[in-house]
Amino acid sequence: MSETYTKAQFQAAANIVTKLPKDGPIKLGNDDKLQFYGLYKRAPGMFDFEGKAKLKAYEEMSDVTPEQAWTRYVNKLLPLLEQAGDSASIEVIKSAV
């Protein structure tokens, strides 16, 4: 079973995702962006993604509680950060309170 994360940890993860450089080591595909968007939207907030896919991604998370969305969001990001060797961002998330 995966670890549960707090709202502060989720917000730290969301801040990292929004600042990922397009030419950086983590390349998010459209599906990843939409999944992050859907989880973020379910755990209130807003990203600047375009198109009908926003609503679909959000609706796909309609049965997810904010706490579940925080956890899924962080669990989706951590492996990407690990793969990129971004231990500083991992520490920011893990130490957020």
**pLDDT value of position 44:** 54
Q: Where are the domains positioned within the chain? A: 7-95
Averaged over 13-38, what is the pLDDT? 93
Averaged over 76-88, what is the pLDDT? 96
**pLDDT value of position 50:** 54
Centre a 10 Å sphere on the Cβ of residue 41 and count the other Cβ atoms it contains: 19
Q: For the structural domain made of 7-95, what CATH number should be given?
A: 1.20.80.10
| Residue 54 token pair | 């926003």
pLDDT in tens, 36-73: 988 887 765 444 455 467 777 888 888 999 999 999 99
Q: Which run of H or of E encompasses 59?
A: helix 53-59
